[in-house]
Structure 1
Amino acid sequence: MTVADLPRAGTLFRRTFRGRRGAASADFAEYLHDLLFTNPLYDPATGGVVHARSDGRIDSACFSVPMRFKVGERPIVAQLMSAFMSDADGAAGAGEITLRFRPRRVDLCFTDSASPVTKAHFIAASATIIPIQGLEWRRAFQPAAMIARRLERFAPGTSGLLATLAMPVDRLLRTLHRRFEAPAATGLEDFEMSRAEFVSLAAGFVERYRVRPDWTAEELEWLLAMADGNVTLGPLRILGVREADGRVIGCVVHYGGPGRIARVLNVFADIGKETAVLRRMFRHFDERGFVGAVGGVRPSLIEGLAEQRALTFRHRAFTCLSTRHPEIVEAAARNDIYIGGLAGEGWSRLMTDFR
């Protein structure tokens, strides 16, 4: 994919995922350019792919964002695959794109937002599926307001009315059912973590994994800057968690604010401190007036999530990967791989914006 392909690829994206025809907006065109061509790791070899017909129409495409990863101590450049798309008559082109990502051809390409159709293409390419990381948890603090917030997507401009109607319902529900109140997290405190501190700590929180992001300051700063643009989810914040002695044991990267649903990208924690970080996170959200919270499931978080009441799980998307390295497949099978959030697509405006 080249810069010259962006207008046609953007049109295909809008047609496929938004049901809209015609040229993309200037904002969307600028975002696609920034997403696909300003990454500090950008290289045409790990960039997006398009399939064009003889008349110049792009009938199939797949975006790609390069990310540094480590397999043990060996660095590789992985490819986050995004927006695999094709027209109804683009099956041949989609098939050709799929062949480019067969395991024998790539160090690691992956997606944590695959639809059933995209999953089918990955399976056709002999890829690996990571089932548990396709799950999402949802925690309600003010259940009526949380439902109202979700309804806004289908009824724009009704947020004020819906919030007003939800308030007395939530007061009654929280009085009758203490399950909506997040339990206290004693011996812990939270704080607003600076970007500089987060950048210095993030890589350390994922060192336990055999296959993990190999974040540099430059790459993380680019990711955070891109994530900042996803304003439909609210402001991007980093919540630090520390023990009484001041030792930082984890942090949470999330969107949202009071009266909104927190969208949690990542929960980072020292080994054995995952439940403590989750307790403080949920308590913080409840105390600050968030109506609910949602985030991705990781095996290390299951115990802490399971102790929360008013929390449910649902399937969100498929997490798929393709790699020539057997050790990555083996690591994925035992959940010894870190994918998701900033090491995934949850921060991208393609997931939530440009409706």
Structure 2
Amino acid sequence: MTPAAESALRKPVELSGPPAVEERARPHAGTVRAMERSDLPAIADLFTRTFRKNNRVTDSQLAGYLETVFFSSPFYTPDAGSIVHLNETSAIDSAILAMPVEFNVHGRTVTAKILCAFMAEGKTGAAGAARLARMMRAARQDFCFSDNASPVSADHWVAAGGLVLPVQSLEWHRTFRPAAAALNRACRKIKPLARLPLHGLARLADNFVRRSKRSFAAVAHDGITSAPLSLSQFMEQAQIMMQRFSVHPVFSKPEFDWLISAAKLNASLGELQCRSVLDAQGKKIGCYLYFGADGRNAMVMNVFCHERQEAAVIAQLFADLDNLGYVSAQGMAQPFLTQAVLRQRHLVHRHTGYFCLVTRHADLKAAASGDGFYAGGLASESWSRLLHDF
């Protein structure tokens, strides 16, 4: 979130009426409306100025990517999409980027809005940012959430009648090969390091470390195995295993296919892959989806399992990623998996952003406060290129 937007959120705001009514009452105060395709060049420039201050020019691919993510979903409608604020000169001075994802909420279908970026044009956009923030009040929304909110933004979500979910606001990080993992982190921060012949030395160091400290190797449970899974098979298994939650993504085929296609555009994370976990009798007890690049980090997007199979599925997941040669793995913390994940050695939890939600539905809010809520991975913005490049 831009500093101007954060500043606007610190100011007390009152619930306003629909934008059209407000504009008739105050014709010169600016306009709040749904984002249109013709806005994309201006939005791309605003995003770059807000979040990529070192970039002198906007990436030529950014506007096209924004169109794919925020306009091409099978469930996109102007009401479920992004909103912008136009100042007195009809220029966009602030915006909230949002994309729709269908959720099952206690048996009924609700279109949730994932808020992906809140940005404003410096101090001049603060008033517009405040007006956009008013539109996100819980009384107005069926279901809005973000899994990457800043501290100030998280405070605003709570003030607007929403929730901050502490477990989902954490990421777990498991290390398999410490020297190579440290080198990969250093190369991301210091680009010239990637051109030096250091990876061979890291492998030698890791071979020594893993022989002397065997706990770096992940161990599966006896009798548990896994097998590659097609994306369509993963969708089918996920739909069955998510039934344990009263609130969960629908993952209908049109939307699932769209999410997969959009996620695959983020080539920097590696290849999108999935596996099924089986017990000793060959019964499917879990499945997981992850991005992985050879010899680098694996980003686990979604993990599903039947009840009381959490420990076996998580142990197999880490054993698989270790055996496939990844140096480390990471993923969103989930309440139902916490106990199983904590059994792992060389694992830490890190906070990178708050998971926040607002809703006017009491049953959805109650589920989010308990154990009946599942979101994240494909049903979040964690796969978006807006977080990783541009």
TM-score range, shorter chain: over 0.9
Matched, 1:286 2:338: no
Matched, 1:202 2:238: yes
Contact 2:269 2:293 in 1 (8 A): no
Larger mean CA deviation between 30-39 and 47-56 belongs to: 47-56
Amino acid in structure 1 at the alignment position of 2:212: L
* 1:68 corresponds to: 102
* 2:53 corresponds to: 19
Larger mean CA deviation between 149-158 and 320-329 belongs to: 149-158
Sequence identity of aligned pairs in percent? 38
Question: 1:21, CA displacement in angstroms?
Answer: 5.1
* 1:131 corresponds to: 166
The equivalences for 1:80-229 within 5 A come to 80-89=114-123, 90-159=125-194, 161-229=197-265
Matched, 1:317 2:353: yes
Q: Number of matched residues?
A: 354
Amino acid in structure 2 at the alignment position of 1:51: H
Q: Deviations over 1:102-155 (max 9, x none)?
A: 111110000111122322332332221111110111100001111111122122
* 1:8 corresponds to: 42
Identify if the C-alpha distance between structure 1 residues 61 and 120 changes in structure 2 by more than 3 Å, giving closer, same or farther.
farther
Distance in 1 between residues matched to 2:54 and 2:69, nearest whole Å: 21
Question: 1:185, CA displacement in angstroms?
Answer: 2.9
* 1:57 corresponds to: 91
Contact 1:238 1:253 in 2 (8 A): yes
Larger mean CA deviation between 190-199 and 259-268 belongs to: 190-199
Amino acid in structure 1 at the alignment position of 2:162: A
SS at match of 2:320: helix
Amino acid in structure 2 at the alignment position of 1:190: S
Question: 1:201, CA displacement in angstroms?
Answer: 2.0
Matched, 1:230 2:281: no
Distance in 1 between residues matched to 2:58 and 2:86, nearest whole Å: 18
Larger mean CA deviation between 132-141 and 116-125 belongs to: 116-125
Q: TM-score when scaled to structure 2? A: 0.87
Contact 1:192 1:240 in 2 (8 A): yes
SS at match of 1:110: strand
Q: Deviations over 1:232-267 (max 9, x none)?
A: 011111121112322211111101133111001111
* 1:48 corresponds to: 82
Contact 1:200 1:217 in 2 (8 A): no
Q: TM-score when scaled to structure 1? A: 0.96
Question: 1:227, CA displacement in angstroms?
Answer: 0.8
Distance in 2 between residues matched to 1:266 and 1:161, nearest whole Å: 34
Contact 1:112 1:345 in 2 (8 A): yes
SS at match of 1:303: helix
Distance in 2 between residues matched to 1:322 and 1:335, nearest whole Å: 17
Identify if the C-alpha distance between structure 1 residues 18 and 273 changes in structure 2 by more than 3 Å, giving closer, same or farther.
same
Distance in 1 between residues matched to 2:348 and 2:55, nearest whole Å: 37
Q: Deviations over 1:169-211 (max 9, x none)?
A: 2122212211211123321221110112112222222111111
Contact 1:11 1:21 in 2 (8 A): no
Give the gaps of 5 or more residues in structure 1: none
Amino acid in structure 2 at the alignment position of 1:210: S
Distance in 1 between residues matched to 2:161 and 2:121, nearest whole Å: 23
